[in-house]
Structure 1
Amino acid sequence: MQQSGLNLQQAPPIWVPFRFFLSAPLFGLLAAVVMLWQGPDLFTSRWSASTLAATHLITLGFMTMVMAGAMMQMLPVLAGASVPRPKLVVAIVHPLLVLGTLLLAGGFLLAESRLLQYAVVLLGTGLTVFFGALLLTLSRVRNPTATIRAIWLASIAFGITLVLGLILGYSHGWDAPLPSQSLRDLHPAWGLVGWTGLLVAGVAYQIVPMFQMTPNYPHWLTRGLAGSAFILLGLWSLAQWQGAAEWMWLRVASVCLLVAAYSLFAAVTIHLQRHRRRRLPDVTLEFWRAGMVFLLLAALLWLSRQVPGLAFAQSDVLLGVLVIAGAAVSFISGMLYKIMPFLAWFHLQTLSASGKPLPNMKAILPEKAQRRQLRLHLASVGLLIAAALWPTLFAYPAGLSFGAAMLFLMRNLIRVARVYRDCLQRAVQANLVSGMAEKLTHEQK
């Protein structure tokens, strides 16, 4: 594992990211419960209340939860700039994100405007604090790398996603008219293509070579991808907002170029993984490789939707499944399986000897447990794809398998936390005994 370019001494306390990471699978489980509760109705339209509830449980409760924790951990390490008052930021952001997401999902499911109003206030406050901390930390970076530049653009995309989401939430909660119906498309686009896509790309520039032992990404890709994708997404948004027929060419051209950009990123990543220096099996690499395949499929589907003859009724739901459950959840799961054991191992190195050897990363979380969850995850994505196409037949198996995958993910992450806790307790006890022995020896002298 390469650690060049990392400033590990800037890392925050381990409970800062762990608090977010351990919360995330619970929201995935709740999304599975909603799938089982609502059944085929959830997969018939992206506009149904149950679909909106399950989608936000995953995008806010799982994806944003993990990405917020990862940024609290990775920005100080990658950029050498500390998050301002991280304990206070976490104390505000985490509970507001948890409560706000639960209220938002409940408001959609129960058609209760009061719950949606509370959700808008809580999520708006918590995510604005996170956004401000993110920008302040990035502004302190003196020599930004390609990763930091991509995270800068991803953060701006996050801010745009947040503003659009608050406008939509205000419309739902207070029954106010929207300034444009295009906001319903702009919000998920900036959240998935902008915030998530650019963040995954930027983090990949550092994480893939470091943890997967691949060659570095080519400079022409790291220099141009993030900026080009951001500009193209802006042009597509302009065309969507205008909505007139004369803007159709810009919308189609922007989609084609965005598809080409992210497809190129996926293809280069797969190529680098095929040329990694260590050929031993690696479950996290398989998560990322699966995510890249789903990303390519989503890109092709989005491209096909620009051709009227190729569009079909369920393409909206299928595209969401491929991007969210297929690509994003795969990337995030693979990242969790590297970052959490690494953080536990790294923080354990600072402890005094406890009389027992400290576990390595593979002992903290065995590969067998990761691989079992990978199989469940891939099965769940396959069933979700089938449910998007044939809801009546596959809705319940899809919900059940997605819940099982999230349950196993939660069990694996809890295992990492327990190993760290047990080693910490042994070290504290050993240090206490050692200190008492030294004191007795000193008194006898």
Structure 2
Amino acid sequence: MPAMSRLPFLFIVTGIFGFVLFHATSFMSLTGWLGDDIRGPAGWFQVHLFVLGWATMLAMGAVYQLINVILQSNLYSERLGYIHYALFSVGLFGLLFGFIQGDTYWIGGFATVAFSGIVLFVWNMAATLRRAGTWNAITISTACAVLYLLLTGLSGMAMGINFATGLYNNLHENLFGTHIWLGTLGWFGLLITGFSYKLLPMFYLSHDYPTRLEYVVLGFWNAGVLLGATSFLFGLPTGYKVAALLLIVLAVLSFNVHLLQIRSKRHKRSPGAGIEWTVTGSQIFAIFAVVFAIRALVSPDHLLDSRTVLTVGWVYLGCWVSFTVLGYMSKIVPFLWWTHKYGKQAGRPGTPLLADLLDERKANLGLTLILCANLTVLVGLVLGSQVVIAAGGAVLSMVSVAYIALIALVFAH
């Protein structure tokens, strides 16, 4: 296997493992970690496994693969990519074990290893972007997302030092809010929106669509991330957080309008179930975002209630970030594997077509069930019903593992 093609696959395969592990452990607890104190060991384990072991692992692999396509130039250092993978993977799974054991020093040591991997990733991306010299909404979004990932790691390390030493205890909650805001809205939000500007036109075969809204989204999203992180870090009044939220909602709405612009200029009737569900999922997310913004304006004092934060976190991470990644995987993984294995044999007798690698009907069914199960868990969270959460979570775990198995079977072709 060519060296350049192996690096993204390492992250993709490890991310799939993290996804399966997350749903296996959730299924065994009947998603009980959502009903317990999410800031306890079980909650820390599940959240970091989902965010780092699944979503971030996949995102990093996608960045390594797509950065070449976006910039039309090579990665700055492939070797740094492999070192980054080793440090981040070892650090992550050591950190997760530390959460299980409740060992502060174990957590701190392996968090440092994982953070070292993130630093190498940021350095590699910064050098690649600087050398390429191509700046547009896609590359700027990617650069900002990577910067926010670094700041997320820094705030997490600062929290770890506080846990271990007891220093600056009065800043712990401030750091916690900053850490969550930067990691979820900064890293994932800008990476998904930025990459969508490249991926959706490619899959829809869209041409001559307007790009102005890409910069509008970029401006609103960055403003929301920076204002929100600042308000948490310095303990500013709730009004600043509401304002930051409204900026993010404006960005989400602008993003969805742009998705429709891209789709309206398509030259391909259907890009596949995964891409169609990705766009639909973003539209559903926009509706939830507007509803939550109205609630925040009407009742700002309840903005940071634990149930509210948990519900919003589920909508954002489960119903949008993860669902979007799963949708894109249905196209990206078959494309990467077919290109690697059969690219030089294209057109020869007996060479399978790209469409032969994944059953679109099964992918469509899988994503439909995942969305329904996600929404069931959401209903349980809103109602405060552990029975509904457990039922929805159990179904979600089963159909999610079945779907990711369908994706993984692409590698068997």
- TM-score, length-scaled by structure 1: 0.83
Query: Matches of 1:161 and 1:90 in 2, distance apart?
Result: 20
Query: Matches of 2:380 and 2:167 in 1, distance apart?
Result: 33
Instruction: Single out whichever of 354-363 and 192-201 deviates more from structure 2.
Output: 354-363
Report how many residues are paired. Answer: 406
**How is 1:22-421 mapped onto 2 (pairs within 5 angstroms)?**
22-39=13-30, 40-86=32-78, 88-173=79-164, 176-178=167-169, 179-214=171-206, 218-245=210-237, 248-270=238-260, 272-273=262-263, 276-280=266-270, 282-300=272-290, 302-303=292-293, 304-306=295-297, 307-308=299-300, 314-352=307-345, 356-389=349-382, 390-419=384-413
Check conservation: 1:38, 1:50, Cα contact below 8 A. Answer: no
What's the counterpart of residue 438 of structure 1?
A: none
Query: Matches of 1:394 and 1:174 in 2, distance apart?
Result: 40
What's the counterpart of residue 425 of structure 1?
A: none
Q: How much is the aligned-residue C-alpha RMSD, in angstroms?
A: 2.6
- TM-score, length-scaled by structure 2: 0.89
**How far apart are 1:323 and its partner, in Å?**
0.7
**How far apart are 1:165 and its partner, in Å?**
1.8
User: Unaligned regions of 5+ residues in structure 1, if any?
Assistant: 1-10, 420-445
Instruction: Single out whichever of 400-409 and 32-41 deviates more from structure 2.
Output: 32-41
**How far apart are 1:300 and its partner, in Å?**
3.0
* Aligned counterpart for 1:21 among listed residues 12, 20, 28: 12
User: Unaligned regions of 5+ residues in structure 2, if any?
Assistant: none
Matched residue type, 1:31 = F
Query: Matches of 1:229 and 1:337 in 2, distance apart?
Result: 27
**How far apart are 1:199 and its partner, in Å?**
0.9
Secondary structure of 2:352 counterpart? coil
Secondary structure of 1:279 counterpart? coil
Matched residue type, 1:224 = V
Higher relative contact order (CA 8 A, sep 6+): 1
Rg (Cα) greater in structure: 1
CA deviations over 1:284-338 (Å, ceiling 9, x no partner): 1233124303432452354223523765652111111111111001111122111
Query: Matches of 1:82 and 1:275 in 2, distance apart?
Result: 30
Secondary structure of 1:81 counterpart? coil
Specify whether residues 276 and 46 from structure 1 end up closer, same or farther in structure 2 by C-alpha distance, changes over 3 A only: farther
Instruction: Single out whichever of 234-243 and 300-309 deviates more from structure 2.
Output: 300-309
